[in-house]
Amino acid sequence: MRNYTIGGPDAQEEATGKQSDIRIMAGKVKWVTDIEKSVLINNFEKRGWVQVTENEDWNFYWMSVQTIRNVFSVETGYRLSDDQIVNHFPNHYELTRKDLMVKNIKRYRKELEKEGSPLAEKDESGKYLYLDFVPVTYMLPADYNLFVEEFRKSPSSTWIMKPCGKAQGKGIFLINKLSQIKKWSRDSKTSSFMTQSTKEAYVISLYINNPLLIGGRKFDLRLYVLVSTYRPLRCYMYKLGFCRFCTVKYTPSTSELDNMFVHLTNVAIQKHGEDYNHIHGGKWTVHNLRLYLESTRGKEVTSRLFDEIHWIIVQSLKAVAPVMNNDKHCFECYGYDIIIDDKLKPWLIEVNASPSLTSSTANDRILKYNLINDTLNIAVPNGEIPDCKWNKSPPKEVLGNYEILYDEELAQGDGADRELRSRPGQSLGPRGGRSRDSGRTVLTTWK
Amino acid sequence: MLQEESDLALIIAQIVQKLKGSNLYAQLERQAWASLQRPEIKLESLKEDIKEFFKISGWEKKLQNAVYSELNVFPLPSHPAAPPEHLKEPLVYMRKAQGSWEKRILKSLNSMCTELSIPLARKRPVGEQKELLNKWNEMGTDEPDLSLFRPVYAPKDFLEVLINLRNPNYENGDSHSFRTHLGLIQVPLKVKDIPELKEFFVELGLTAGQLGIDDSTQVPPELFENEHVRIGQKVLSEQDSAAAQQYIRQGSPTALRAELWALILNISSQPEVLLCFSRDTSVLGHFAYNSASPPKSYIRGKLGLEEYAVFYPPNGVIPFHGFSMYVAPLCFLYHEPSKLYQIFREMYVRFFFRLHSISSHPSGIVSLCLLFETLLQTYLPQLFYHLREIGAQPLRISFKWMVRAFSGYLATDQLLLLWDRILGYNSLEILAVLAAAVFAFRAVNLMEVTSLAAAEAVLADLSTLKVMPLLQIFLFATVT
């Protein structure tokens, strides 16, 4: 007998009424979703799964982030049973909200520093050698004064303002003068007209004004990372990530700071640009990016870049692992946004809990369809009714286009000092082996 | 023996003549003068000492590369009395066909321009000149409104012309010999068969290592890849053009490709002013060995007077729909515009021009089509007949691949591995072989289709194909 309902008291009776129908369908995975996307639904249907409503007994629920909030909220009092799986962790926002992500990473770094870990090593100017992958960031209005102090140190710098809870580039703007964010000042005169809670939470980060340009255009990387468990950490990287290009040539000129077509790579924004191309959608595969960089910059620096990218993803997951509710009913597929600067240093911009499943081009549709397919193969083994007590260790054959990014259990088996050897910049050594598609052999442990 | 010697003397004379006008000659001259300051250069043994200096300083190598480059590009002289048209194209009927095709294109171009009231050759008015100078550095994002322009022609139109080519001296008549050709191309050009192709492409054989096969993740790098990369680096440090061309037959490592191509194509490392291809008059030089001729126009009122003739476009090349696909893959290798341009220009005047002019050259599009059809008919006769029966002549599908040298159809890394071999073998024949190999690979599915549209669908997506295994299997691992 399940305690969990979303619909409320009436749903219970409806559910028992359908008991006989459900008995016929027993054995097939029952799925629900509140995201009407064909890439999802086609994948469920091709497995012969049965669609049910959220009020009925279901095994698999692909939820939007709003729904997961309700499911796991204190009021509803949930209890998922052993044969139910959902696609989000209850407090995923520790990673996917811009302010909390930064908070957790800062906390993680301080902890490592306190325990004297070599990972927290700093250089002469006080910058972390291996953990400096998030641009300097402050919360507004909370850290307003701290921000002002930092701003005054380099007054000609550009900063980017992002609302904590929005996506698709909404509400983002660039500033280079303090006057432009007067509103968020804690003792601003306007605060007497508004209460703190109505002033929307923003983060302000140092803008990366020297992005790597290709064809004169700025781009960012979208990489998909699947996490099946946080403790022990087991995560997979999707090999088929892509780059999103701006349609307008990049310029750091202050006169173009408010031209979103120059600065924001979100497809939701770029697709309204004059030069948007509907066939390629302004996207490159990561494979092509690698080809371009190897051809023009050489193999070593390219491999180093990709190693670093994998490194920062794993570190970000380790940072939130201690505070994540490692509910065994959960898995999550994140959309990581990474920007590479012109010194080939990757920066973590943000992590999305609900990466867009909309397809902007035909290739896009194929990619997202395969992404969901491979994700389901890992999260729901053999496409059968799940048992969340399983060890979450899928065989290699089902990975599809995923590859193991980090497996804490395996890593620990190899000895604690592996951590030290796997910092970026260390020589790969004989265990490096092939690094064709991902260059992250240092971090994988399946060799 | 005597004939060979006099041939050689003729070749040497021609190459010397060509190089005398080049930048390299001027540089060598300067270097020779400057070397007189050096202590090791003695008056008594001036010639020998300067030669020795050139050898040590690497200038001899540069000269060697230039000579090698000329040998690759220019056809060997035939008879000293042969007229220049023979250099462009020895067969009269081919020349005539190219001539008519050109007339058709020009007519189409002229009428489009008349329709849109756009003059093809005129001096830019002063106001426009000023504007252009102001915007010189940002030309990349500035585009004229092209919405009214139509492509002058599409590959399909060109194919129709090739299908109708006939040699008036050749009577195919009633003799239905074994070699009766059932394809679309009906001219008797000599093309290689598989044994000859195996010999020609010997480095692609099963016993030789290949990039595109032996660098896959399952193969330990010590077996082939590491050594191959090391050799590549050595070739680059020696700056030896001929060695590079031989080396690249087994594929180029990604990180070395840009430099290797530049070495093979003998690109100068001097930063050149970036020219818009259509305005680059140096391209006119390739018309000496191209069966095509650049269209000429005369300033108004001066028809027939050579002093008032202009080529349009200035480089003489009228592009067709899809032309930019020749450049696109190169953008993965060169981010510096001037290098990128030089590479493209060289690739065009050495190879790509043959894909859209009518000639009897073994790398010309006519020969490639015939080679493709012959390979298919000879080695996959069932498939060939089946496709012909259902109205899906294979060439109708593969033509667009070959005309674009597969650009836009293959994944970029695969395309670059293919173009490595074009450079390595100094021939486009590999395009026809690959086209046949693709059909062989999809033969099972193709045997089941019953229409041209269905056949097109089976062959619509080549983006997942790995070219080297396909070529190897087709050439070396299929029972013939």
pLDDT per 10-residue tile (average), chain B, 480 residues: 73 84 86 87 87 89 88 70 79 90 85 76 72 60 58 84 87 56 88 94 90 83 90 94 95 94 85 64 76 73 69 70 80 84 90 92 95 94 95 95 94 95 96 97 95 94 93 85
Pick the residue from chain A with its C-alpha nearest to B463: A363
Q: Are residues B332 and A288, on separate chains, in Cβ contact within 8 Å?
A: yes
Out of B141, B254, B334, closest to residue A291 by CB: B254
- Report pLDDT for A429: 30
* A249 vs B: CB within 8 A: yes
Q: Are residues A437 and B332, on separate chains, in Cβ contact within 8 Å?
A: no
Q: Are residues B255 and A249, on separate chains, in Cβ contact within 8 Å?
A: no
Pick the residue from chain A with its C-alpha nearest to B257: A295
User: Distance between CA B12 and CA B43 in Å, rounded?
Assistant: 28
Out of A291, A299, A437, closest to residue B412 by CB: A291
Chain B neighbors of A296, CB-CB under 8 A: 258, 332-335
- Here the tokens at position B239 are 């700056």
Spatial contact of B354 and B174, defined as CB atoms under 8 Å apart: no
Instruction: Give, as one character, the DSSP assignment of residue A330.
Output: B
Pick the residue from chain B with its C-alpha nearest to A294: B255
Q: Is the ipTM of this complex over 0.95?
A: no
- Interface probe for A, chosen from B332, B413, B419, B466 (most Cβ of A below 10 Å), is B332
Can you identify the CATH homologous superfamily of domain A92-134+211-411?
A: ATP-grasp fold, B domain (3.30.470.20)
Out of B141, B221, B258, closest to residue A295 by CB: B258
* Look-up of token digits 């599009």: B365
- Here the tokens at position B188 are 């008797």
CA distance A271 to chain B (A): 18
* Of A280, A167, A304, residue with least CA distance to A217: A280
Task: Mention every residue, 6+ apart, whose C-beta is less than 8 A from residue B372.
Answer: B394, B395, B398, B402, B432, B435, B436
Classify strands A332-340 and A50-51 as parallel, antiparallel or unpaired.
unpaired
Bridge partner residues of B313 (DSSP)? none
Chain A neighbors of B254, CB-CB under 8 A: 291, 294-295, 299
* Of A98, A106, A3, residue with least CA distance to A350: A98
Spatial contact of A292 and A200, defined as CB atoms under 8 Å apart: no
Q: Is A202 helix (H, G, I), strand (E, B) or coil?
A: strand
Instruction: Give, as one character, the DSSP assignment of residue B76.
Output: P
Instruction: List residues of chain B with CB under 8 Å from any CB of chain A.
Output: 140-141, 215-217, 221, 253-255, 257-258, 331-335, 411-413, 416
Spatial contact of A317 and A406, defined as CB atoms under 8 Å apart: yes
- Interface probe for B, chosen from A249, A295, A302, A370 (most Cβ of B below 10 Å), is A295
Task: Mention every residue, 6+ apart, whose C-beta is less than 8 A from residue A123.
Answer: A129
Spatial contact of A37 and A358, defined as CB atoms under 8 Å apart: yes
- The secondary element (H helix, E strand) that includes residue A137 is strand A137-140
Kindly report the average pLDDT of chain A as a whole number: 82
Read out DSSP for B322-362?
Answer: TGGGGTGGGGGT--SHHHHHHHHHHHHHHTGGGGGS----T
Pick the residue from chain A with its C-alpha nearest to B258: A295
* Look-up of token digits 């033509």: B399
The low-confidence residues of chain A, meaning pLDDT below 50, are 1-18, 20, 23-24, 189, 191-196, 416-422, 424-447
Spatial contact of A414 and A372, defined as CB atoms under 8 Å apart: no
Determine if residue B337 is left, alpha or beta; phi over 0 gives left, psi from -120 to 50 gives alpha, anything else beta: alpha
CA distance A297 to chain B (A): 7
User: Distance between CA A354 and CA B1 in Å, rounded?
Assistant: 79
Chain B neighbors of A436, CB-CB under 8 A: 215-217
CA distance B160 to chain A (A): 29
Instruction: Give, as one character, the DSSP assignment of residue A68.
Output: H
Determine if residue A140 is left, alpha or beta; phi over 0 gives left, psi from -120 to 50 gives alpha, anything else beta: beta
Bridge partner residues of A32 (DSSP)? A61
Burial letters for B252-273: b for 16+ Cβ neighbours within 10 Å, e otherwise?
Answer: bbbbbbbbbbbbbbbbbeeeee
| Sign of the CA dihedral running B204, B209, B214, B219 | positive
User: Distance between CA B213 and CA B466 in Å, rounded?
Assistant: 8
* Of A102, A83, A101, A81, residue with least CA distance to A92: A101
User: Distance between CA A131 and CA A121 in Å, rounded?
Assistant: 8
Chain B neighbors of A437, CB-CB under 8 A: 217
| Sign of the CA dihedral running A389, A394, A398, A402 | positive
- The secondary element (H helix, E strand) that includes residue A222 is strand A217-229
Q: What is the amino acid identity at position B22?
A: S
Spatial contact of A348 and A312, defined as CB atoms under 8 Å apart: yes
* A214 vs B: CB within 8 A: yes
* Of A93, A92, A264, A242, residue with least CA distance to A162: A264
Task: Mention every residue, 6+ apart, whose C-beta is less than 8 A from residue B64.
Answer: B240, B241, B242
Residues 278 to 297 of A: which have CB under 8 A from any B CB?
287-288, 291-292, 294-296
CA distance B83 to chain A (A): 44
User: Distance between CA A435 and CA A432 in Å, rounded?
Assistant: 7
Bridge partner residues of A229 (DSSP)? A234
- Report pLDDT for B476: 92
Spatial contact of B370 and B183, defined as CB atoms under 8 Å apart: yes
Give A19-28 pLDDT, tens digit per residue.
545 544 557 8
- The secondary element (H helix, E strand) that includes residue A406 is strand A402-407
- Report pLDDT for A374: 95
- Report pLDDT for A206: 93
Q: Is B12 helix (H, G, I), strand (E, B) or coil?
A: helix
Q: Is B403 helix (H, G, I), strand (E, B) or coil?
A: helix
CA distance A123 to chain B (A): 31
* Length of chain A as a residue count: 447
- Interface probe for A, chosen from B330, B413, B420, B464 (most Cβ of A below 10 Å), is B413
- The secondary element (H helix, E strand) that includes residue A407 is strand A402-407
Chain B neighbors of A216, CB-CB under 8 A: 140
* A434 vs B: CB within 8 A: yes
- The secondary element (H helix, E strand) that includes residue A347 is strand A346-352
For residue A294, report the phi and psi dihedrals to the nearest 5 degrees. Answer: -65, -40
Spatial contact of B369 and B162, defined as CB atoms under 8 Å apart: yes
Q: Is B220 helix (H, G, I), strand (E, B) or coil?
A: coil
- Report pLDDT for B301: 67
- Report pLDDT for B76: 63
- The secondary element (H helix, E strand) that includes residue B372 is helix B365-379
Q: Are residues B412 and A215, on separate chains, in Cβ contact within 8 Å?
A: no
